[in-house]
Structure 1
Amino acid sequence: MSTSTKPNSLEDIEECKLKQLQLTLPKILWLGSYPTYLYQGFWCPVLEPTISFQTHFQAHDSDIILASLPKSGTTWLKSLIFSVVNRNKFPDLSKHPLHTQNPHELVLQFKYKLYSKIKGCQLDLTQLPSPRLLATDIPYPSLPGSIKTSKCKIVYVCRNPLDTFISLWHFNLRCERDEIITPDMIMKYFEDFCKGDFPFGSYEDHILGYWNEHTRNSNKVLFLEYEGLKTDPYDQVKRLAEFMGCPFSKVEEKGNIVEEIVKLCSLDSLKEKEVNKSGKFYDFVENNALFRKGEVGDWINYLNPSIVKELLHDLQEKLKKSGFSFKYYQQNF
């Protein structure tokens, strides 16, 4: 007698469909090791969690979702969003959760911690306090429909493409992988980045998806620039709080609460926390790899300006034709 190979549960059926889908999608190996699929117009390195997220997540009107490309200031924004929203719960900043928990523990990422597998994906998110603070790298068009149609808020942060790439490059050098990537391969992967062949890329499509929705409905999507937060953190954090529905009162401003939160959440402050110096929240990288320089313009120490100008041309033209321009960052070669 032959053994039946038919799927015998809904989870098995979903897994079979996923495997069939993978066979039909274009595929690259980012950094030589990470299978990344061209799915719904972007390069998806976590296909199974992404589809599970799209299929099962039901947004609440009170949800606040941080969206960004990887290494665009995500860790910083997680700490700010959590601290602003929960400032009344933790008025004594010396006992704030950021002293003992990594920001990624406080604002969970859909792809790694909430929808890491299709099996067992019926998650109980009711345990999260309201407002639920969550984060994603997925482009706007591919977000679950409930996020788009609900009254939940989306905070999007972008960073200039050059520093985004450099931060991503150094982060990936620290990640555990099967194949060794050496620093002298940087220009090869920068060329891939400019072509859009990198996780959750292309860069310009990702930015424009959220930018266009911000211009249509600024009450739904707040568009922040990393460089703006660096230049004027005080006003940008006040803007963030107002958007999230918890503006700072005059009493709080006079009491320097905004400045204290900015200081607590600064990169220098976070890097000094013992929880961020060792250990792992994600199984593929140590916590200290989540914090590097955070400087604007650091790319100049790694990339040749004349080559960069040539490679960035198409990306910049697409942003320009779409009417998008950085408010706080001007590229000079």
Structure 2
Amino acid sequence: MSCVTTDDSEQKTLQLLADLPRVDATFGDTLYLYQGVWLFRDAVFGAMQIQNHFNHHPTDIFLTSFMKSGTTWLRSLMFTILNRSRFDFSDHPLLRKGPHDCFPVLDTCKPEDYAVTDNSPRLFATHFPHKMLPSSITDPSSGCKFVYVCRDPKDVLVSMWHFVVKLRPKELPPLSFDEVFNLFCEGVMIYGPYWDHVLGFWNAAFQSPEKILFFKYEEMKRDPEGHVKKLAEFMGVPISGQEEEDGMVKKIVEFCSIEHLTSLEVNKNGVYKANTGYIVPNETFFRKGEVGDWKCHLTEAMKDQIDRITHDKLKGLGLTIGATNEGHPMT
């Protein structure tokens, strides 16, 4: 991959990388522990660029999440909701380009990429944890809003493993599920530790609920139409009574469904080209999208280990994710 730094700062960032703790090539590229978060090299550069060069607009909206938590689906929903008066479903940008091309991913942006649109509000996406984002945008006085989605960590783990396996260079030995499981539990995962990531946005949402809309993937799956209406309200473009009568909410849900998106040619054979030069086939961003698929991959002991970590990390904080043996939410 090519780096995203400017020439005058490249030497400084390379020196920084040389001094950081690292895990070599486990996921195909080296992971660096930067500000308590495990990142690929280009994401370290991207974080530095955001922290030093990002100029926010008070109307900016950020889609935030840990990887493989439902980001692709939510990205499609947010773009479609915001632009529903601009584009007809029969001639929609999502018919021609993948969801990741609809608005910028800050993690690999260069400063000149921040002003890619004059639309207001601007949409951005990031997997960076809350603590890594500059206070200029996370402070409630900034006006910026955040949509965060979390998911049962067991399903996140399974989806992450499938994702990594697809992108892992062929010249490297296969990466076993047990290996990824152990690293995930230890917190050594891109953008990890997972639980710290979720709690950062959960605590911030508790402090500023008007600025951070906190979703659970499982609840979105149970009631997608209700969550579309919440999203529209939060983004400042509420669904009107007439739109409801005309079936707009249902149309958005069906248009952005995994069944529809995966049927499109662009998501079967198209690619996403990151600003770093890294190319990812669009089909890699989609899998089953099912709740509870972890049951096909985790042993009972693995399930219990992740549930114990989740219980210990979230105990007393008012957030429930994952499930007990009885299938009830954990506290």
One fold, TM greater than 0.5?
A: yes
1:58 correspondence with 2:55: yes
Out of 190, 194, 200, the residue aligned to residue 181 of structure 2 is: 190
Amino acid at match of 2:119: P
**1:258-292 deviations in whole A, cap 9, x for unaligned?**
00000000000000011000021134321111111
Aligned equivalents of 1:164, 1:275: Cα separation in 2: 25
In the alignment, structure 1 segments of 5+ residues that lack a partner are 1-9, 116-120
Shift of 1:180: 3.2
Structure-to-structure mapping, 1:116-265, within 5 angstroms = 121-123=111-113, 125=115, 127-149=117-139, 150-177=142-169, 179-182=171-174, 185-265=176-256
Shift of 1:107: 2.1
Out of 321, 325, 331, the residue aligned to residue 332 of structure 1 is: 325
Contact 2:155 2:293 in 1 (8 A): yes
Shift of 1:29: 2.8
**1:166-192 deviations in whole A, cap 9, x for unaligned?**
111111111152643536x10121111
Report the identity percentage. Answer: 40
In the alignment, structure 2 segments of 5+ residues that lack a partner are 327-331
Amino acid at match of 2:261: L
1:43 correspondence with 2:48: no
1:101 correspondence with 2:97: yes
Q: Structure 2 length as normaliser, TM-score?
A: 0.90
Aligned equivalents of 2:25, 2:297: Cα separation in 1: 20
Aligned equivalents of 2:74, 2:295: Cα separation in 1: 24
Taking a change above 3 Å as real, the CA distance of residues 97 and 55 of structure 1, as seen in their structure-2 partners, is same
Contact 1:62 1:131 in 2 (8 A): yes
Helix, strand or coil at the partner of 1:33: coil
Aligned equivalents of 2:7, 2:51: Cα separation in 1: 18
Amino acid at match of 1:159: R
Aligned equivalents of 2:198, 2:63: Cα separation in 1: 13
Shift of 1:151: 0.4
Taking a change above 3 Å as real, the CA distance of residues 68 and 96 of structure 1, as seen in their structure-2 partners, is same
Structure-to-structure mapping, 1:17-28, within 5 angstroms = 17-28=12-23
Taking a change above 3 Å as real, the CA distance of residues 178 and 13 of structure 1, as seen in their structure-2 partners, is farther
1:313 correspondence with 2:313: no
1:110 correspondence with 2:89: no
Contact 2:47 2:132 in 1 (8 A): no
**1:269-316 deviations in whole A, cap 9, x for unaligned?**
000011000021134321111111000010111111223313542333
> How many residues align structurally?
314
Q: Give 2:318's aligned residue.
A: 323
Q: Give 1:3's aligned residue.
A: none
Q: Give 1:5's aligned residue.
A: none
1:80 correspondence with 2:77: yes
Taking a change above 3 Å as real, the CA distance of residues 330 and 15 of structure 1, as seen in their structure-2 partners, is same
**1:230-269 deviations in whole A, cap 9, x for unaligned?**
0000111111111111110111111110000000000000
Q: Give 1:67's aligned residue.
A: 64
Amino acid at match of 1:303: L
| Structure with greater Cα Rg | 1
Shift of 1:126: 5.3
Amino acid at match of 1:236: H
Taking a change above 3 Å as real, the CA distance of residues 311 and 161 of structure 1, as seen in their structure-2 partners, is closer
Aligned equivalents of 2:240, 2:285: Cα separation in 1: 32
Helix, strand or coil at the partner of 2:46: helix
Aligned equivalents of 2:124, 2:6: Cα separation in 1: 25
Aligned equivalents of 2:27, 2:76: Cα separation in 1: 32
**1:71-123 deviations in whole A, cap 9, x for unaligned?**
11111001000010111112x311121111111111221123x23xxxxx444
Helix, strand or coil at the partner of 1:83: helix
Out of 302, 308, 321, the residue aligned to residue 297 of structure 2 is: 302
Mean CA deviation greater in 12-21 or 209-218:
12-21
Out of 270, 280, 290, the residue aligned to residue 285 of structure 1 is: 280
Contact 1:191 1:311 in 2 (8 A): no
Taking a change above 3 Å as real, the CA distance of residues 228 and 152 of structure 1, as seen in their structure-2 partners, is same
Mean CA deviation greater in 39-48 or 251-260:
39-48
Helix, strand or coil at the partner of 1:14: helix
